[in-house]
Structure 1
Amino acid sequence: MRVLKWLLAAGLVAVAAATGLVYAAPEWVTRLAIDADRQRAGLVRKEIVLPDGLRFAYLEGGQGEPLMLLHGFGADKDNFTRVARLLTPHYRVIVPDLTGFGESARLAGADYRPRAQAARLRAFAGALGVGKLHLGGSSMGGQIALTYAAAYPAEVASLWLLAPSGVWSAPKSELADIYQSTGRNPLIARSKEEFARTFEFVMNDPPFVPRPILDVIAKGVVANAPLAEYIFKQLVGESVEARASGLATPALIVWGQQDRAIHVGSAAVLQRLMPRSQVVVMPGVGHLPMVERPRQSADDYLRFRAGTN
């Protein structure tokens, strides 16, 4: 009994110490947590500069067929770290920061529409020695992935589309209603408080993140707000429906039933357009299935890939 009490007391002290560190040194703890997640996922941070001078920061790990994963608007490469832990045992996983976000190049006045981003990613893949690949993308990343497959169909073996944007004939989402009626974009945060609200907006069942760590993550997002607004204006009205129509690439389309950013009805629209697609809708999940349900997301994807093989 004494040993049990001692262990309990030691555990409480450890929790208190960890909690204290989060508040005393949030930036150090945040860096430590990110590095630990990457290590668990078998991912290593790398950089490459393309011949035209464009710089990409990216995560890479695992072996096998290349699987490139593209994050969404306002996010970065670490949006895929949790699910990548379950994918690196099977594939060579490559997760870049898209141009304009994270640690990759931020080009003032550049073209950030999906076609331009897809062309940059194709050059990035080529620099890594990757020809044909499997592509996955969340939100804006899904829109870019679909555009990539439509532009270079012989180079994309399959698509994993996690609530991709650009399906404008679908029912309007809460995000679209807010943006059209007020001009305010819930995805663009200009303060720590707004970022905390964005975090709640995009996920129905988010992982627990202490507020001091959330505030550290917010710094980079808030600093990038002017460029993010410029990019968003280029994306508005960029439909993927014509590109998706008749596209024969095998595709897994995933949506959260409680997605407030892009209406879940978009999934049915895409499925009708893409003859080799299948849909998974996750109850209780918001806009980021791979963050909210990494295990289910990975299991569904592995089953899909087994079927395509």
Structure 2
Amino acid sequence: MDPQQFVYFFSALLSLGAALLMALVLFDRLAPMTAARAGIALERLRSGLRLRQAGVPGFAMPYLEGGKGETLVLLHGFAGDKDNFTRIARFLTPHYRVIAPDLPGFGDAGRDPQAGYGIAEQAERLRALLDQIAPGRVHLGGNSMGGFIAAQFAAAYPERVASLWLLDAAGTEASHSSEVLKRYEASGDMPLLVREEQEYGALVDACTQERPFLPHSVLTALGRRAVADFPLHTAIMQQVAASPLLQPQPQYAALPALVVWGEQDGILHPSGAAAFGQLFPRSRVVMMPGVGHLPMVEEPRRTAQDYLEFRRGSA
């Protein structure tokens, strides 16, 4: 190929690439719900995850599953869903069987305005789910509210839990001492409760130090779902806030735990890391500079590497 032909060929490729990019942008903007489903499905495929269906009394509880080996169950936080763990899962599925469910009241799980959604009640629903899909011992992880549920589950069913992975977890007085939660107690204002679709970006910003890439379509789809859930999530937030805080337990003494906290977490106070370190004598605490409330979303590779190192050390 002579130089003139190469230039022509390269220019044609650039034009084609620009046209494809423009088509993707238009698809993302003009058909956001369809584009969001396609984008999420692609992320799951990259991470080796498949959507499965399950249910507990009164609720559907779909979950993502992928990989082989010991079972690692991951619980999302308030206003989150199973896909909070999709990006980090690509670093975990080569080593473990990863399960990430939607908790009742969130994601694609069932909703019942008359049901209770306190931490102990959600822990019981987790037990019912695991009885079906992972009846033995599991390694259990959770972010924020999901970490609270994981620790509560470990106290109630220590024989079911091989280790804990707590990512900016709720459930201690220290972690609840943030300005966001103080403001919520005083006024009911909370960035995790979304009244208008355009407020969803503010929720993401409140939870992250630097917003990760999220297409317009995904922000739109999640924003619409959050608005529809506003009445129910307002009630669930009240029930979570009223749940008893975690207390020292004999069951915690021998349980290996990795406590991870973003140093710039604006939702739950970083002093919660030390509090969890005291609750779990066999814990390792990792503080992550430049990270907010969602380490597994903001720094998935680094967060996964810390977990893999922890598991090697506790084996």
TM-score with structure 1 length normalisation? 0.95
Structure 1 residues 141-156: aligned runs within 5 Å: 141-156=146-161
Moved more, 161-170 or 38-47: 161-170
Q: CA offsets per residue over residues 234-284 of structure 1, 9 Å max, x none?
A: 111434431567712110011111100001111011112210001111111
Q: Could you tell me how far apart the structure 1 residues matched to 2:217 and 2:46 are?
A: 23
SS in structure 1 at match of 2:63: strand
Q: Could you tell me how far apart the structure 1 residues matched to 2:184 and 2:247 are?
A: 24
SS in structure 2 at match of 1:236: helix
Q: Could you tell me how far apart the structure 1 residues matched to 2:201 and 2:240 are?
A: 24
2:103 is matched with 98
Superposition RMSD in Å: 1.6
SS in structure 2 at match of 1:68: strand
Would the aligned equivalents of 2:71 and 2:134 in 1 still touch at CA under 8 Å?
A: no
Would the aligned equivalents of 2:48 and 2:90 in 1 still touch at CA under 8 Å?
A: yes
Would the aligned equivalents of 1:64 and 1:92 in 2 still touch at CA under 8 Å?
A: yes
TM-score with structure 2 length normalisation? 0.93
Q: CA offsets per residue over residues 172-228 of structure 1, 9 Å max, x none?
A: 213123213432111100111221211111111221223343112211111111111
Amino acid at match of 1:111: G
Q: Could you tell me how far apart the structure 1 residues matched to 2:182 and 2:167 are?
A: 21
2:86 is matched with 81
CA pair 246-271 structure 1, distance change in 2 beyond 3 A: farther
Q: Could you tell me how far apart the structure 2 residues matched to 1:96 and 1:171 are?
A: 25
CA pair 35-171 structure 1, distance change in 2 beyond 3 A: closer
CA pair 29-306 structure 1, distance change in 2 beyond 3 A: same
Would the aligned equivalents of 1:57 and 1:97 in 2 still touch at CA under 8 Å?
A: yes
Would the aligned equivalents of 2:248 and 2:279 in 1 still touch at CA under 8 Å?
A: no
2:162 matches 1:161: no
Would the aligned equivalents of 1:64 and 1:91 in 2 still touch at CA under 8 Å?
A: yes
SS in structure 1 at match of 2:164: strand
Q: Could you tell me how far apart the structure 2 residues matched to 1:307 and 1:198 are?
A: 36
SS in structure 2 at match of 1:8: helix
Q: Could you tell me how far apart the structure 2 residues matched to 1:207 and 1:23 are?
A: 19
CA pair 293-170 structure 1, distance change in 2 beyond 3 A: closer
Amino acid at match of 1:275: P
1:270 is matched with 276
- The one of 273, 284, 301 aligned to 1:295: 301
Q: CA offsets per residue over residues 131-162 of structure 1, 9 Å max, x none?
A: 21110000000000000001111110000000
1:72 is matched with 77
2:128 matches 1:123: yes
CA pair 139-273 structure 1, distance change in 2 beyond 3 A: same
Q: Could you tell me how far apart the structure 2 residues matched to 1:209 and 1:70 are?
A: 21
Moved more, 170-179 or 71-80: 170-179
SS in structure 2 at match of 1:285: coil
Q: Could you tell me how far apart the structure 2 residues matched to 1:292 and 1:21 are?
A: 26
How far off its partner does 1:117 sit?
A: 0.9
SS in structure 1 at match of 2:68: coil
2:198 matches 1:189: no
Would the aligned equivalents of 2:167 and 2:259 in 1 still touch at CA under 8 Å?
A: yes
Amino acid at match of 1:272: Q
1:138 is matched with 143
2:4 is matched with none
* Pair member with larger Rg: 2
2:183 is matched with 178
Gaps of 5+ in 2: 1-6
Would the aligned equivalents of 2:33 and 2:220 in 1 still touch at CA under 8 Å?
A: no
Q: Could you tell me how far apart the structure 2 residues matched to 1:260 and 1:8 are?
A: 42
Q: Could you tell me how far apart the structure 2 residues matched to 1:245 and 1:187 are?
A: 34
Q: Could you tell me how far apart the structure 1 residues matched to 2:249 and 2:200 are?
A: 32
SS in structure 1 at match of 2:72: strand
How far off its partner does 1:171 sit?
A: 7.1
Would the aligned equivalents of 2:155 and 2:251 in 1 still touch at CA under 8 Å?
A: no
Would the aligned equivalents of 1:132 and 1:156 in 2 still touch at CA under 8 Å?
A: yes
